[in-house]
Amino acid sequence: MSKKIVTGITVAVVILAVGCIAWLYVSGQVRVSWGKTANSTAAIVCDTSVVDTYNAAMNYTVRSGSAVAGFDEAGLKKIVTDIKAKSGYESDATCESMLFWIAIHNNDYNSAKTLYASVKKLHDARVFADSNIRGNLAIFQYEDALQQINPSNNNQEGGTGGV
């Protein structure tokens, strides 16, 4: 009788352990790989402070010296300059996403098109932008935003922005 109890407990522990490992794998908490794998960790160039600065500039509000609500245009230009001065910004989805939305805001189709390709490539590699970016949308909506400023679709001048 004692041997049956020990065997039953052992089987239960093994089943529980296998179930836990399977759950961790399915939930994405554990990865299994063989051989050489690429490092999937992306460098953070545009950190929380950059995102906060961008969010403040993209906040549609009445600003000092103005009677109407608007964006902080000077702040947006400074963000573009600051981001482009950082080494490795092209491989940071957060930097590229913010630059994309600034290009969209500026109706700069050519820059936005290039930035869309960059963001899409990073997205496909599972490198995502900070989810706290004001006004950021799902990747499929980037192309919609790009098409809205496409000069061939709406007879606007493209490439006039500062990005």
pLDDT one-digit tens code per residue, 131-159: 999 989 999 999 999 999 999 975 544 44
pLDDT at position 88 is: 92
DSSP string, 55-69: HHHT--EE-TT-SSE
pLDDT at position 1 is: 63
Q: Which of 98, 145, 135, 134 is nearest to 118 (CA)?
A: 98
pLDDT at position 27 is: 66
Average pLDDT over residues 58-76: 85
Query: Around 19, how many Cα atoms within 13 Å sit in the side-chain half-sphere?
Result: 6
pTM for the structure as a whole: 0.68
| pLDDT at position 82 over 80 | yes
